[in-house]
Amino acid sequence: MTATAPAPAPSPGKTGGKADERLLRTSLLRKLLGRPELGAVVGALAVFVFFSFAADSFLRTASLSTVLYAASTIGIMAVPVALLMIGGEFDLSAGVLVTSSALTSSMVSYQLTANIWVGVLVSLLVTLAIGVFNGFLLTRAQLPSFIITLGTFLMLTGLNLGLTKLISGTVSTKSISDMEGFESARQVFASQITIGDVNFKITILWWLALVAVATWILLRTRAGNWIFAVGGNKDAARAVGVPVMKTKIGLYMGVAFAAWVSGQHLLFSFNEVQSGEGVGNELIYIIAAVIGGCLITGGYGSAIGSAFGAFIFGMTGKGIVYAEWDADWYKFFLGAMLLLATLLNHWVRKRAEATK
Amino acid sequence: MNGSEQAAEQNPQRDLQQDPRQGPQQDPQPAPEAGEPLVALDGVSKYYGNIRALEGVSLEVHAGEVTCVLGDNGAGKSTLIKIISGLHQHDAGTFSIEGDETRLSKPREALDRGIATVYQDLAVVPLMPVWRNFFLGSEPVKGVGPFKRLDVERMRETTRAELLRMGIDLRDVDQPIGTLSGGERQCVAIARAVYFGAKVLVLDEPTAALGVKQSGVVLKYVAAARDAGLGVVLITHNPHHAYLVGDRFILLKRGTMAGSHLKAEIGLDELTRQMAGGSELEELSHELERLGPA
C-alpha cells in the first residue's frame, strides 16, 4: 500500500483506511461463503473423500497423476469458457474447435511437407480467426450467442469431416510423427515431467498457467473489470464507455487460444486426429464452469472455480474406473454434481448478498 | 505515474474551480443569464423510419443550473436523452456543446466532452462491488506493459472518500452495488459522474422508482451537483420534484415542445397543470362530469 491516496480537500471526519465501526468483523467463514468457487471446492472435497473410500487405488500418486491429467484436458478449455460465461456468453463450438485446430496443423504441415511448427502457427491463426468470427458475428448481429455458436458448431463439425475426407481420403489425418519439428512440438504440447517415480503430463502446467493468468486478468486488470461488467449489465457498461464489442471478441479469442493448445496436445499425443472428435465436449466445459460457480446469466464467477469444476470431472471419470464400476455411472454422477453445485452456489450467493 | 492516474486525481478540483468562472468570463449573447450554455439544442428532430419521435425541440443547459425536461410517457424524453448522451444522432436542428456544433457518434464521445448520463435502471452493474462500479470504464492502473494492473487500494479509498463527500457513508465498498437501495445507487452513479469531471450531468428519471424519502435524498445530490457548478439535465414526469431543484423547464408532448419556461416565469401550480395535460385534463373532467348523472 503506497501513501499516494488522493485524500480530497474537504474529507470530513473518519475517511481513513480504518474499517467502519458498523461493519462487524467479517468471519473467515462468511468471507469464504462470498466466494464464487466455494461450491466447487466443497464438491471436489466430497468427491475426493468419497472415492478415497470407494476405490483403494484412488489415493496412489500414479492415480493422482492420471486424475490431474484428465482434469487438465477439460480444465484448459474450462478456464476461457468460464471467462466467456462471466462475460455473459456461451460458445457451443468450443468442443469441435479443438479438433479443427488439431486437424489444421496436421494437414497444413503434411500437405506442404513443411516443418511441423509452420502448421502449428497456421493453426493458431486459423483458430483465433474463428474466435474473432464468433465474437464479431455476435456483437454485430445482436443475436444470442447460443444461436451463433450453434451455427459455427455445426459448420465446423461438417468442415472437420468433409475437408479431412477430401484431403486425406479417410476420416483421420496421416501420422506426422516422422516429420521435422515433431519432437520439439511434442515437448511443448504433450511431454511428461517425471517427479519421483510418477509421470505428470505437461498439460497440467498449461492448465495451471491458464488459471493463474485468467485469475489475474479477471481480478486485477481493466479487462477483467470489463468482463464482469459486460456480463453483468451490458447496457450500463456501454453507457460508461466500456468497449463491449472488443471485450466480447477478446473473450472468444481466449476460447480459441485454449482450443489451439488443446488441439495441439491432441495431435502430438496421438500423431493423428480423428476428424469426428470433440462433439459434446463443449457441454463438459460449460458444466465445469457452472460447477465452478459461474452464473449462467453472466456477471459472476471465477477462473479458479472452473479449475475445481474440471478437477471434479477428472476425479469422477477416473474414480469410477478405479472403483471398478460400470462407466455408465459417470454421467449420472456428473448430472447430480451439476445440480448440487448449482443449488449450493445459488443459495450461497443469495446469503452473501443478503447479509451485507 | 501515468496519464490516466493524474487526470483522475485532478478532476474533482478542476471542475469545482473552473465551472463557476465560466459564467462571467464571456457574454457575447444578450441572454439575461449571461454566459454560453454548456449544451444547447436548437430545433432538434429525430425520426425512426416514419415515426416522428422528436420535432423542433430546443433547450439550454447552463453551468450551475438545472434544466428539467418534463413529459408524459412517450413524449420523447428518452429520445432526447439519447441524443444528448450520444446513443442516437439527431436528424435535424443543431446540437452544440460549449458553442461548437456537434454530432456525437457514441457514448464515449459524450463522456469525453464532459457529458455524463445516469440512467434510471442501467446506471450500475448490480453484481459488481461498489468500488468496481465507481471506476467502471475509467479504471486507474499502475505498473507497465503486460503488468499493468488496477490500483485497487486507490480505487477503494477514492470510492469511499468521494461517496462520503456526497454524504453517502458506506459501510463496505466491497459489497455488490445491487445490495444498496435504489436511491443510493443513483447517488453512487451521480458521485461517479462528478468525480470524473463531468460538466453536464444528464439524469434519466432518477426519482421514478423511488419512495418519497429516497427521492429527497437523490434530489439533494442533484442540488449538490448543481452547486458544484455542473449543468444538470433532469428528466422526470414529476413536476413537484422538478420544481424543487429546477431553473428551467421544458415541457414535451407527443414529441414536440409544449412549453419552455424559466423558474421566475412559472409557478408550481401552472407547471403541474401544463404537465398534467392542461386543457386535456379539463376536457376529461367535463366528460366525466357529464357521464356521472347519466
CATH number at residue A240: 1.10.3470
Of A216, A225, A239, nearest to B119 by CB-CB distance is A239
Q: Quick one: closest CA in B to A234, which residue?
A: B125
Nearest by Cα to A261 from A204, A313, A312, A223: A204
CB A132 within 8 A of CB A249: yes
Q: Does residue A291 sit within a domain?
A: yes
The residue among B266, B260, B282 whose CA lies nearest residue B41 is B260
**Interface contact B179-A295, CB threshold 8 A:** no
- Grid coordinates representing B41? 439544442
Q: Measuring CA to CA, which residue among A134, A78, A144 is closest to residue A248?
A: A134
Pairing of strands B51-61, B92-97: unpaired
Kindly state whether residue A21 falls inside one of the protein's structural domains: no
- Domains of chain B by residue range: 3-266
Number of Cβ within a 10 Å radius of residue B7? 14
Q: Is the pLDDT of residue A222 over 70?
A: yes
Tell me what percent of the residues of chain A surpass a pLDDT of 90. 56
Query: What is the pLDDT at residue A354?
Result: 56
Residue B5 has pLDDT above 80, yes or no: no
A342-356, B25-39, B193-207, B222-236: least confident range: B25-39
Confidence band for A26, pLDDT divided at 50, 70 and 90: low
Question: Residue A30's pLDDT band (boundaries 50, 70, 90)?
Answer: low
Over residues B145-160, mean pLDDT: 88
pLDDT-based confidence at A251, cuts 50/70/90? Answer: very high
Question: Contacts of residue B150 in chain A, CB cutoff 8 Å?
Answer: 220-222, 224-225
Q: Is the pLDDT of residue B32 over 50?
A: no
Query: pLDDT band at residue A338, thresholds of 50, 70 and 90?
Result: confident
Task: Residue window 119-138, chain B: list those with CB within 8 Å of chain A.
Answer: 119, 122-128, 132, 135-138
- In angstroms, how far is CA A2 from the centroid of its own chain? 35
Strands B200-204 and B115-118: parallel
Q: Are B139 and A225 in contact, with CB atoms under 8 Å apart?
A: yes
Check residue A22 and give its pLDDT.
Answer: 52
Buried b (16+ CB within 10 A) or exposed e, B195-215: bbbbbbbbbbbbbeebeeebb
**Cβ B52 vs Cβ B255: under 8 Å:** yes
Is B3-266 a domain of CATH 1.10.3290.10?
Answer: no
Q: How far is residue A218's CA from residue A294's CA, in Å, rounded to a whole number?
A: 13
DSSP string, A50-113: HHHHH-GGGGSHHHHHHHHHHHHHHHHHHHHHHHHHHTT---TTHHHHHHHHHHHHHHHHHHHT
Mutate to test the interface with A, among B1, B4, B117, B136 (most CBs of A within 10 A): B136
Look-up: residue for cell 480537500? Answer: A9
A24-33, A124-133, B52-61, B256-265: range with lowest mean pLDDT = A24-33
Mapping DSSP onto H, E and C, the string for chain B reads: CCHHHHHHHHHHHHHHHHHHHHHHHCCCCCCCCCCCCCEEEEEEEEEECCEEEEEEEEEEECCCCEEEEEECCCCCHHHHHHHHCCCCCCCEEEEEECCEECCCCCHHHHHHCCEEEECCCCCCCCCCEHHHHHHCCCCCEECCHHHCEECHHHHHHHHHHHHHHCCCCCCCCCCEHHHCCHHHHHHHHHHHHHHCCCCEEEEECCCCCCCHHHHHHHHHHHHHHHHCCCEEEEEECCHHHHHHHCCEEEEEECCEEEEEEEHHHCCHHHHHHHHCCCHHHHHHHHHHHHHCCC
How far apart CA A295 and CA A300 sit, in angstroms, is 5
How much is the pLDDT for B278?
61
Residue of A nearest to B179 (CA): A353
Q: Would the CB atoms of A225 and B172 count as touching at under 8 Å? A: no
- For chain B positions 203-232, those within 8 Å of chain A (CB to CB) are none
* Structural domain of A281: 37-347
Q: A219 to chain B: nearest residue by CA?
A: B150
Q: Is residue A133 part of a domain?
A: yes
Q: Report the residue of chain A nearest B13, measured CA to CA.
A: A8
Q: What is the mean pLDDT of chain A?
A: 86
DSSP A196: T
pLDDT of residue A207: 96
Q: Is residue A262 part of a domain?
A: yes
Q: Do A353 and B107 touch (CB under 8 A)?
A: no
Total Cβ atoms within 10 A of residue A345: 25
The whole-model pTM stands at 0.80
| Residue contact B137–A240, C-beta within 8 A | yes
Residue A28 lies in a domain: no
In this complex, which of B136, B157, B169 lies closest to A17 when CB atoms are compared?
B157
What is the Cα–Cα distance from B224 to A22, expressed in whole angstroms? Answer: 26
Q: Which three cell numbers stand for residue A212?
A: 493463474
Q: What is the pLDDT of residues B271-291, one digit of tens each?
A: 887 776 666 667 777 778 766
pLDDT, residue A342, reads 81
Q: Does B153 touch chain A (CB under 8 A)?
A: yes
CA Rg, chain A, in Å? 22
Interface confidence (ipTM) of the complex: 0.79
Does residue A25 fall inside a structural domain?
Answer: no
The structural domain count of chain A equals: 1
CA distance A245 to A237: 11
A313 pLDDT above the threshold of 80: yes
CA-to-CA separations, A355 to A89, A171, B18, B183, in angstroms, rounded: 29, 57, 43, 19
The pLDDT assigned to B138 comes to 84
H/E stretch holding A201: strand A198-201
What are the C-alpha distances in Å from B131 to residues A348, B198, B225?
22, 19, 20
Check residue B198 and give its pLDDT: 84
pLDDT more than 70, % of chain B: 83
Size of interface A-B (CB pairs under 8 A): 120
- Residue B258 corresponds to which amino acid? A
Find, in chain A, the residue whose alpha carbon is nearest to that of B142. A221
Whether the predicted pLDDT of B142 surpasses 70 = yes
A7 belongs to a structural domain: no
